[in-house]
Amino acid sequence: MLNLVLFGPPGAGKGTQAKFLEQRYQLRQLSTGDMLRSAIAKQTPLGVEAKGYMNRGELVPDEKVVGVISECLDEYRDAKGFIFDGFPRTTVQAVQLDRMLAERGERIEGMLLLNVPNDELLKRLMLRGRESGRADDQDESIILNRIKVYEDQTKPVADFYSAQGKLWVIEGVGAVSEITARLEAVIDTLLK
């Protein structure tokens, strides 16, 4: 299995790039944000609970998202590998992910961090809000809160993987295809 964490602030392009990498390497993308939005649309108990946190730009409690990922690891046991997109977002989640993978005889091979400056993130998210109608992309103060939550609670996850020698930083600005090529260069190194 090839298990990767695609990491970076909101608006860094994780979802966009995950789709290309999924195709190229036959991996399964696991986006906790997509799963939570789907749970909200279906009004499941998880969706009802997550909605308030998401609309405020706050993180959904660790145990909820860890539970969702644990179910996916069981459901897609036969996958060739996973691209974790938007997970882990706290060090607690990262520790739990390592544990869940270890229990299945697996591990994370690398974390790919897409580096994008904050003013560019704000621009991209405001545009996405207009185009997609996503609730948490509509309001500048909520977007700024998500960027702050990233700085305060999520960025330390990069140190967690760096300490394991697994962190790769990729410039996340430029043409989408150029950024994909940068990611592929790293993944091809990991596959050697």
Q: Does 108 engage in binding with ligand AMP (CB under 6 A)?
A: no
Within 22-81, the residues that bind ligand AMP by CB under 6 A are: 32-33, 36, 53-54, 57-60, 65
6 sits near ligand AMP (criterion: CB under 6 A): no
**Beta carbon nearer to ligand AMP, 20 or 189:** 20
**Nearest distance from residue 94's CB to ligand AMP, in Å?**
10
9 contributes a contact to ligand AMP by CB under 6 A: no
- The nearer residue to ligand AMP, 10 or 129, going by C-beta atoms, is 10
**DSSP calls for the chain:** ---EEEE-STTSSHHHHHHHHHHHHT-EEEEHHHHHHHHHHTT-HHHHHHHHHHHHTPPPPHHHHHHHHHHHHHHTTT-S-EEEES---SHHHHHHHHHHHHHTT----EEEEEE--HHHHHHHHHHHHHHH--GGGS-HHHHHHHHHHIIIIITHHHHHHHTTT-EEEEE--S-HHHHHHHHHHHHHHHH-
The neighbouring-strand residues paired with 49 are none
Least distance between ligand AMP and beta carbon 153 (Å) = 9
Q: Which of 146, 157, 160, 187 contacts ligand AMP by CB under 6 A? A: 146
Q: State in angstroms the smallest separation of the CB of 192 from ligand AMP.
A: 30
Closest residue to ligand AMP using C-beta atoms = 33
Question: Taking the complex as a whole, how short is the minimal distance between the CB of residue 74 and ligand AMP, in angstroms?
Answer: 18
Residues in contact with ligand AMP by the rule CB under 6 A = 10, 32-33, 36, 53-54, 57-60, 65, 86-87, 89, 93, 136, 146
